[in-house]
Amino acid sequence: PIINQENFDKHKVYWGYFLGFNSYDYKIDYLQPNQYIEITKTTGFNVGLVGDLRLQEYINLRFEPGLYVTQRNLKYSNFSSERDVLREVKGTNIHFPLLLKFSSKRTGNIRPYLLGGISSTLNLGSNSKSIDDNLQQRFRVKPWTFNYEIGFGIDLYTEYFKFTPSIRGVFGLNDELIRDNDPNSSWTGNIDALKTRAVFINFTFH
């Protein structure tokens, strides 16, 4: 086959951008296992930049800052009023992942890879500074979260650029919940920890 972009991976540093989709969820640990919260996920969108540093032939260090817009809907079963049952948790996230990319040997114009690393996320819609809580229909989370990430993708070399579809799982490490002012709140009193879980599907262009 014709080999496209034959010397592309020999560059020490290269740049790109990505577009994609996300699906955010929460992993909830409960104090008492008799009251559960139903989480409905939605599909959000991603856009961001990619900086790639070649460490050696098969290992690269990547920095992929991006904007991730999402929404999670929490439904509580212990209320009768729709006003109290539903909490829409909207997120406008600035995501900062630092990842190691482990590539296989290139075969023709295809090169699969695995990647993993750590990340931090700033949620611009966290409501963390609000004094209102769920009594005023205000669900609050911490502005910063920390995560680890793992995923895989395929580098596809075209005549004019490198195109990379990838999928990645994101797993929050810290408890994000800001409890209500009432420690016995029906919305937050039974939650021991609330952590982000997410799946990213990105399409990267170099």
In angstroms, the CA 44 to CA 2 distance is 37
In angstroms, the CA 18 to CA 154 distance is 14
Q: Give me the tens of pLDDT residue by residue for the chain, a chain 206 residues long.
A: 788 988 898 899 999 999 999 999 999 999 987 778 999 989 999 999 999 999 999 999 999 999 999 999 999 888 878 888 999 999 999 999 999 999 999 999 999 999 999 999 999 989 888 899 998 989 999 999 999 999 999 999 999 999 999 999 999 999 999 999 998 898 999 999 999 999 999 999 99
**What confidence tens digit (pLDDT) does each residue in 132-160 have?**
999 898 999 999 999 999 999 999 999 99
Say what the pLDDT of residue 22 is. 97
